[in-house]
Structure 1
Amino acid sequence: MSAPSRPRVAVILFNLGGPDGPAAVRPFLENLFTDPAILRVPAFIRPWLGRLIAARRTRAASENYAILGGRSPLRELTEAQGEALAAALAPEIEARCFVAMRYWHPFAEEAARQVKAWGAEEAVLLPLYPQYSTTTTGSSLDDWRAACERVGLELPGRTLCCWHSDPAFAAATAALIREAEAAARAALPAGARLRLLFSAHGLPESIVRHGDPYQWQVERTVAAVTAALERPAGAPPLEHGICYQSRVTPQKWIGPSLEQALEAAARDGAAVLVSPIAFVSEHSETLVELDVEYRELAHKLGLPGYFRVPAQNSDPGFIAALAGLVRRVRDGQRALCSFAGARQCPKVHGDCPHARARATLETA
Structure 2
Amino acid sequence: MKYRSQDAFTHAQVDKIGIVISNLGTPEAPTKQALRPYLKQFLSDPRVVEVPKAIWWFVLNGIILNIRPKRSAQAYKTVWTEDGSPLLTHTKHQAQGLEKRCREHFGEDVLVDYAMRYGRPSVSDAVERLLAQGARKILLLPLYPQYCASTTGSTFDALAEDFTKRRWLPDLRFISHYHDRADYIDCIANKIKAHWDENGRADKLLFSYHGIPKRYLLNGDPYHCECHKTSRLIAAKLGISADEYMTSFQSRFGREEWLKPYTDETLKKLPSEGIKSLQVVCPGFSSDCLETIEEIGEENREYFEQAGGERYEYIECLNSDDAHLDMLFCLIKDNLVGWHVNAQISNNLSKGEKEDYQQRNALAKSLGATK
Q: Which TM-score band (shorter chain)?
A: 0.7 to 0.9
Closer, same or farther: CA 152–315 of 1 in aligned 2, 3 Å:
farther
Q: Deviations over 1:114-170 (max 9, x none)?
A: 122111121111110000100000001011111133244511121111000110011
Partner of 1:11: 19
CA contact (8 A) 2:269 2:307 kept: no
The amino acid across from 2:21 in the alignment is L
- Name the TM-score, length of structure 2 as normaliser: 0.81
Secondary structure at the counterpart of residue 236 of structure 2: helix
The amino acid across from 1:268 in the alignment is E
| Structure 2 stretches lacking a partner, 5+ long | 1-13, 340-371
Partner of 2:92: 79
CA contact (8 A) 2:202 2:279 kept: no
Secondary structure at the counterpart of residue 91 of structure 1: helix
Mapping for residues 283-322 of structure 1, pairs under 5 Å: 283-322=289-328
Partner of 2:333: 327
Q: Deviations over 1:277-322 (max 9, x none)?
A: 1101011001110111011111101112100111111011111111
* Distance in 1, Cα, partners of 2:209 & 2:53: 29
The amino acid across from 1:244 in the alignment is F
Pick one of 142, 163, 171 that aligns with 2:157.
142
The reply to whether residue 219 of structure 1 matches residue 234 of structure 2 is no
| Structure 1 stretches lacking a partner, 5+ long | 1-5, 186-191, 334-364
Secondary structure at the counterpart of residue 19 of structure 1: coil
* Distance in 1, Cα, partners of 2:315 & 2:236: 17
The reply to whether residue 58 of structure 1 matches residue 73 of structure 2 is no
Aligned residue pairs total 319
The amino acid across from 2:112 in the alignment is C
Closer, same or farther: CA 27–166 of 1 in aligned 2, 3 Å:
same
Q: Is 51-60 or 131-140 further displaced after alignment?
A: 51-60
Partner of 2:119: 104
Q: Compute the displacement of 1:193 (Å).
A: 5.0
Mapping for residues 13-52 of structure 1, pairs under 5 Å: 13-21=21-29, 22=31, 23-51=33-61, 52=63
Secondary structure at the counterpart of residue 235 of structure 2: helix
List 4+ stretches of structure 1 deviating above 6 A.
none
Q: Compute the displacement of 1:98 (Å).
A: 1.8
Mapping for residues 161-310 of structure 1, pairs under 5 Å: 161-185=176-200, 194-230=203-239, 239-270=244-275, 271-310=277-316
* Distance in 2, Cα, partners of 1:118 & 1:281: 28
* Distance in 2, Cα, partners of 1:312 & 1:28: 25
Max Rg structure: 2
Closer, same or farther: CA 103–332 of 1 in aligned 2, 3 Å:
same
Q: Compute the displacement of 1:68 (Å).
A: 2.0
- The CA RMSD over aligned residues, in Å, is 2.2
Q: Deviations over 1:207-265 (max 9, x none)?
A: 1111001000101111221222257xxxx998100001101111101110112322342
The amino acid across from 2:36 in the alignment is R
Percent identity between the aligned chains?
Answer: 27
* Distance in 2, Cα, partners of 1:69 & 1:87: 27
